[in-house]
């Protein structure tokens, strides 16, 4: 197995194969997590350190997008039932 096809969890150090875990490329960095639990730990830490005023707008936007998707799903469901 080549080096590229293996990942090392940033949070706990566990090595895991390509196709498993969570691998995110952002800001020129590759973030690797073997489980969603490890990712959540990192994400929580990152979010708490980000400038709160700056991320507020993004949080609002993403929340709105999710709410829209949920609303569409809800409508689709009620259409199927009717
Ligand atoms: Zn891990």
Task: Give 5 Cα–ligand 1 centroid separation in angstroms.
Answer: 17
Task: Give 38 Cα–ligand 1 centroid separation in angstroms.
Answer: 5
* Cross-strand partners of 33: 22
Mean pLDDT score, 22-44: 96
Task: Give 67 Cα–ligand 1 centroid separation in angstroms.
Answer: 30
Mean pLDDT computed over every residue of the chain? 92
Domains in the chain: boundaries: 1-49, 51-82
Task: Give 63 Cα–ligand 1 centroid separation in angstroms.
Answer: 27
Whole-model pTM: value is: 0.74
- Rounded CA-CA distance 4/11 in Å is 19
φ, ψ of residue 2 to 5 degrees: the values are: -75, 165
What pLDDT, in 10s, does the model give residues 11-30?
A: 999 999 999 999 999 999 99
């Amino acid at each position: 197995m080549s080096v590229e096809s293996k990942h090392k969890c940033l949070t706990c150090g566990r090595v895991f194969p390509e196709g498993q875990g969570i691998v995110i490329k952002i800001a020129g960095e590759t973030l690797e997590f073997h489980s969603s639990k490890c990712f959540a730990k990192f994400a929580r830490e990152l979010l708490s350190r980000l400038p709160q005023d700056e991320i507020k707008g993004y949080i609002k936007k993403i929340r709105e997008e999710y709410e829209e998707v949920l609303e569409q799903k809800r409508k689709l469901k009620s259409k199927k039932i009717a």
